[in-house]
Amino acid sequence: MATQQQERRSKKRPVHELRLGRIRAAVWENSTENGTRHNVTVSRFYKDGDDWRDSTSFGRNDLPLLSKVADMAHILDRLGLRRDGVITQAAQILFGTRFLPDYPQGRLKLGRFRGTKITGEILDNKQEYMHAFAMVREAMAFLDRTLPLSGHFVEGRIEREDRLPFHPMRCARCS
């Protein structure tokens, strides 16, 4: 009987994992008479020869990462980005790394065209799946790289004053 329970437990997968370096916090779902409950186990990965193993024993040097993994779970819960141990869709769009096939809206499409018509020749084109914060950073970097910039020196000042020939938000188009 004990071996059957161990087999079932070994095949069961956590509903969510938080990893930071060699430290992992796994969230497990348990069905009880009072409803579904979630428990967390924390482990540390280490290499034994050519094999990777995990342990629930932590050294002094592991404690800062252990604390950060626990903080991550707490922060996600406080922000409402994790419910019952499961990451929400909002958290996936904000911080995720895997988007397809469930989150096709995680795609950033950037393009620069010759002339004023969108149907003109494409000079720069980029499409990539990423989380929302990376989208903002990448879009700003794309604008910095591709928009023409004029500048001049104001008399009596050391800094150059840069100007775009048009407002960048007038160039942006959401689809």
> In terms of Cα–Cα distance, which of 73, 57, 74 is closest to 22?
57
147 or 45, which is more confident: 45
**Neighbour count for residue 88 (Cβ, 10 Å):** 14
Q: pLDDT tens for residues 84-112?
A: 767 788 888 887 777 777 888 888 888 88
Whether residue 75 is predicted with pLDDT greater than 70 in this model: the reply is yes
Residue 93 lies in a domain: no
Bridge partner list, 24: 19, 43
Domain check: are 66 and 108 in the same one?
A: no
Residue 116 lies in a domain: yes
Residue 96 lies in a domain: no
Tally of domains in the chain: 2
Residue 51 structural domain? 2-87
Domain check: are 13 and 70 in the same one?
A: yes
Residue 94 lies in a domain: no
Cα–Cα distances in angstroms (integers) from residue 168 to residues 29, 131, 133, 143, 145, in the given order: 47, 22, 19, 8, 12
Q: pLDDT tens for residues 4-63?
A: 444 455 567 887 788 888 898 887 778 888 777 777 888 999 999 999 999 999 989 888
pTM of the predicted model as reported, rounded to 2 decimal places: 0.49
Residue 44 lies in a domain: yes
Domain end residue (candidates: 61, 87, 113): 87
Say if CB 39 and CB 30 are below 8 A apart: yes
